[in-house]
Amino acid sequence: MNKVEKHTHKQHQVHPSGLPVWQTGVRGLLTVVGAGPGDPDLITLKAIKALESADVVLYDALINESLLEYATNAEKIFVGKRKGCYAYQQEQINELIVSRAKSHDHVVRLKGGDPFIFGRGAEEIDYAQQFGIETRVVPGISSSLAVPAYQGIPLTKRGASESFWVITGTTKSHKLSQDVYLAAKSNATVVILMGMSKLNEIVSIFAAENKRDIPVAIIQNGTTEKERFGFGTIQTIEQVVSDKKLSSPAIIVIGEVVNQRVKLTSICREVREEIVS
Ligand SMILES: C[S@@+](CC[C@H](N)C(=O)[O-])C[C@H]1O[C@@H](n2cnc3c(N)ncnc32)[C@H](O)[C@@H]1O
């Protein structure tokens, strides 16, 4: 078999709404889909349509599993990390995508938040394309934006923050990103994902910039029923984390906007209560 397999596709029809319609008989379509941050209502219509037409869904740990109900007829394979253990290594996931795309019409790779924000979605697409597999992406609502928003924290606000950084706490080499040093020098809001195990290092970097009083929020399992959070400053946040026993998956938000949250939180809660009642 050739390394790059010959692959034929029917012309994709376009729905009157402008959305692509995935046709049966088209082998090897991979759609990398963002599932949103946890609240199952924070998924897009396009993502639901992809799930409904999926033959196979490979999903991660941080997705809300109730979303799998949209994929009525699909084989569902968990490929994420639970209790610190990976079900599959990245190379195995890549191979699984390719092998399923060869034998099925539509493979959906369902990822937490947005697949292109620290989601390795681009790597999986690159790999699949080497085998002539047609690929699509459905963006998702990233936890980096939605989790602070559910706590009423605006990442930008006139007079408080003109920009924001979204940084990983854990790079490929398992180190804190060097960008944290640059971000700590700026006036921007700083959002750190995968940073809980590096909190001590992060706090020291901000303290070295004389920013001990800058407000900090830590939100664990944001937008879900298991959401837990703590607020403090660069000086106090480690104690808050210890007192409240906060851990991963969590987002760290550093910046003056954390102190602007109260009014927004109450508005947010009112809206949520109205929806529930
Ligand atoms: C591998 S990254 C994936 C991010 C994802 N692609 C996104 O756009 O949200 C996983 C990290 O995102 C953050 N995260 C994702 N979902 C979260 C949630 N519901 N609450 C808090 N943090 C979350 C945590 O820092 C977690 O360790």
Three-state DSSP state, 217: strand
Q: For tokens 């940073």, what's the residue?
A: 195
Cα of 197 to ligand 1 centre, how many Å?
A: 14
| Mutational test site, ligand 1, from 164, 251, 252, max ligand atoms within 8 Å of CB | 251
Residue 259's φ and ψ, nearest 5 degrees, are -80, -10
Which atom of ligand 1 is nearest the CA belonging to 195? 25
Check whether residue 75 and residue 130 sit in a common domain.
yes
- Where does the pLDDT of residue 26 fall: very low under 50, low under 70, confident under 90, or very high at 90 and above? very low
Amino acid at 1: M
Residue with the nearest Cα to atom 12 of ligand 1?
A: 193
With a 6 Å cutoff on the Cβ, whether 28 touches ligand 1 is no
Active-site residue flag, 60: yes
| Half-sphere exposure in the Cβ direction for 250 (13 Å, CA) | 24
- Per-chain mean pLDDT for the chain: 88
Is pLDDT of 144 > 90? yes
pLDDT digits (tens, 9 = 90+) for 237-270: 999 999 999 999 999 999 999 999 855 554 445 5
With a 6 Å cutoff on the Cβ, whether 248 touches ligand 1 is yes
pLDDT digits (tens, 9 = 90+) for 82-101: 767 888 899 999 999 999 99
Amino acid at 53: S
Q: How far apart are CA 86 and CA 77, in angstroms?
A: 13
Please say which residue of 140, 156, 176 terminates a domain.
140
Which atom of ligand 1 is nearest the CA belonging to 140? 8
Mean pLDDT is lowest, of 54-58, 172-176, 267-271, for: 267-271
Active-site residue flag, 198: no
Q: What is the CATH number of the domain that holds 25?
A: 3.40.1010.10
- Where does the pLDDT of residue 273 fall: very low under 50, low under 70, confident under 90, or very high at 90 and above? low
How many domains does one find in the chain?
2
Question: What pLDDT score was predicted for residue 275?
Answer: 57
Say if CB 195 and CB 169 are below 8 A apart. yes
pLDDT digits (tens, 9 = 90+) for 108-119: 999 999 999 999
Is pLDDT of 210 > 80? yes
Check whether residue 77 and residue 151 sit in a common domain.
no
Q: Which residues contact 125 (CB under 8 A, 6 or more apart)?
A: 30, 32, 135, 137
Mean pLDDT is lowest, of 51-60, 68-77, 78-87, 216-225, for: 78-87
Check whether residue 118 and residue 47 sit in a common domain.
yes
Please say which residue of 96, 124, 140 terminates a domain.
140
What are 137's strand-pairing partners? 32
Active-site residue flag, 81: yes
Question: What pLDDT score was predicted for residue 8?
Answer: 38
- 38: domain range? 13-140
Cα of 276 to ligand 1 centre, how many Å?
A: 25
User: Which stretches of 104-246 are DSSP H helices?
Assistant: 121-129, 143-150, 179-185, 199-208, 237-244
Check whether residue 79 and residue 104 sit in a common domain.
yes
Average pLDDT over residues 169-184: 94
